[in-house]
Amino acid sequence: MRELMIHLNENSPKYKQIYHSIRSLIENKELQPNTKLPSIRQLAEILYVSRNTTLVAYEQLLAEGYIRSEQKRGYFVETFESIDIHTPTLHAEKSISEERKIKVDFRAGSVDQHAFPIKAWRKCVNEVLKEDIVYMYGEQQGDRLLREKIANYLLQSRGIRTSEDSIVIGSSTQQLLMHLSILLKNKYSSIAVENPGYDGARTVFQLCGFQINPIEVRKKGLCMKQLEKIESKLVYITPSHQFPTGVTLPIAERLQLLNWAHSQNGYIIEDDYDSEFRYQQQPIPALLSIQQEARVIYISTFSKAFLPSIRLSYMVLPSELLDQYNQQFATFEQTASSIHQRTMARFMERGHWDSHIRKMRATYKRKMHVLVSSLHLAFGKVIRLIGTQSGLYILIQLQSSVGEEILIQQALEQGVKVYPTSNLYIGYKPEFSILKLGFSNLSIEEIQLGVQLLKKAWT
């Protein structure tokens, strides 16, 4: 090819324009493989540029593999297979469009942004930033001051008598469960879990190689008869506010469960993720508070009651496991932020935590009441509400054969996001679809609007 017309301008270096133009012609297959290109001198004469300009452009194309040089023959378009990159523009536009049209998002797990004590928290952060702890990795079990405050809080609010030495702080419940699973896998090979139950915990156990034994959750919580028939000596349970049904395990079953763990020489992993928010009665005492030497591993988090993004959870280990934990994870650095740990300790020390919990309990109680009453008013007997006395979400079951995915899509078409529960079941699904509606970060007006839109979507 002796002629190669390229339009050049003065806006950028000419060698770059020549390079990009030839590259584009090759990529668009306008210059076919093995096509001979003009020589450096010929191209310079055609484009009225210096030979050095065309030389630099060719050398760049040569370096990137777009052309090849054959001795005494010149430059040729290299043979290579182009890659078809299909940019999902339509899908992206659809996703953006869907996000824009969402009016009410019943997402669980977020917090009320307007009620968050940002000034008190910021003041504590500023104080901590002046401390030496900011420049260190921190203690392996977590900040001692925070562990002291947690121990005091557990005694007052959950009836648990423990010391800071028995508490381990981590970045999340799943991270603590991961470490715990590694620790327990030395002795145990299977674990019983609630069905339905928290799939995040179940995933951790599966990743760690445990055989999963699902135990049905009934009106009184975990079915003890099923538990006693299996070989598992470990059980993961949410007894104070069963996830997701909201059932509270009665005292008779709690004692039975504690006796089971003792007789099996096993352990109960008690996940007490949102015990602060009960609206009809006082918080239920933890399993570990019934028997101080019980074979219970207690786990809780600051994510639900305070703020998910600070990534703070903690567990209380029995003495026999604590020694093993410190030996096995001696070389592991603390996973939670030292700054956030010490800030939370200062926040609790100054009394902000207790006042925050009291305020949020009243706020969420009102929101729960508005959501429940609005749903009853809109749907009447067509729906069944589950878990309306505690927590930061409820379950709604429509007496309809319409599937879960369709109900979610119908709600989305009206600008409302609701969430599935099918992923929480193992081996079976309820007769009618059950959806999850969180309310913590919604205003009263948004809750009422959301229910009206759901009525429009589902009726």
pLDDT band of 96, cuts 50, 70, 90: very low
DSSP 108: S
Query: In the predicted model, is pLDDT for residue 257 greater than 90?
Result: yes
Which DSSP string do the residues of 22-46 spell out, in sequence order? Answer: HHHHHHTTSS-TTPBPPPHHHHHHH
In the chain, the amino acid numbered 2 is: R
Helix (H, G, I), strand (E, B) or coil at 373: helix
Query: In the predicted model, is pLDDT for residue 81 greater than 80?
Result: no
For domain 14-77, the CATH architecture is Orthogonal Bundle (1.10)
Other beta carbons within 10 Å of 298: 25
Compute CA distances 132 → 169, 311, 338, whole Å.
20, 21, 10
| Distance between CA atoms of residues 231 and 191, nearest Å | 9
| Distance between CA atoms of residues 431 and 428, nearest Å | 9
- Is residue 221 left, alpha or beta, with left meaning phi > 0 and alpha meaning psi from -120 to 50? left
* pLDDT, mean of residues 121-146: 90
pLDDT band of 26, cuts 50, 70, 90: confident
CATH number of 97-113+356-458: 3.90.1150.10
| Distance between CA atoms of residues 436 and 393, nearest Å | 7
The half-sphere exposure of 311 on its side-chain side, counting CA atoms within 13 A, is 11
Would you say 283 and 158 are in contact if contact means Cβ atoms under 8 Å apart? yes
Residue length, the chain? 459
Q: Which of 387, 336, 392, 340 is nearest to 364 (CA)?
A: 392
Considering only 131-135, 161-165, 221-225, which range has the smallest mean pLDDT?
A: 131-135
pLDDT at 64: 85
| Distance between CA atoms of residues 431 and 247, nearest Å | 19
Alpha-helix runs per DSSP H in 230-303? 251-264, 287-290
Query: In the predicted model, is pLDDT for residue 71 greater than 90?
Result: no
| Distance between CA atoms of residues 323 and 10, nearest Å | 73
User: Strand pairing of 267-271 and 234-237?
Assistant: parallel
pLDDT at 92: 46
Classify domain 117-350 at the CATH class level: alpha beta
| Distance between CA atoms of residues 98 and 241, nearest Å | 33
Contacts of 184 (CB under 8 A, 6+ apart): 234, 267
pLDDT at 106: 95
pLDDT at 100: 54
* pLDDT, mean of residues 171-178: 95
Would you say 272 and 298 are in contact if contact means Cβ atoms under 8 Å apart? yes
Looking at per-residue confidence, does 106 or 281 come out higher?
A: 106
Would you say 327 and 320 are in contact if contact means Cβ atoms under 8 Å apart? no
pLDDT at 2: 55
Would you say 196 and 206 are in contact if contact means Cβ atoms under 8 Å apart? no
pLDDT at 283: 67
Other beta carbons within 10 Å of 332: 10
Other beta carbons within 10 Å of 182: 14
pTM: 0.77
Give the model confidence (pLDDT) of 259-314 as tens digits: 999 999 999 999 998 888 888 777 678 899 998 789 999 999 998 888 888 899 99
Looking at per-residue confidence, does 240 or 110 come out higher?
A: 240
pLDDT at 84: 55
pLDDT at 87: 47
* pLDDT, mean of residues 368-384: 94
pLDDT band of 83, cuts 50, 70, 90: low
pLDDT at 439: 94
Q: What percent of the chain has pLDDT over 90?
A: 58
Element of type H or E holding 394: strand 393-398
Query: Tokens standing for 3?
Result: 């002629």
- Where exactly are the structural domains of the chain? 14-77, 97-113+356-458, 117-350
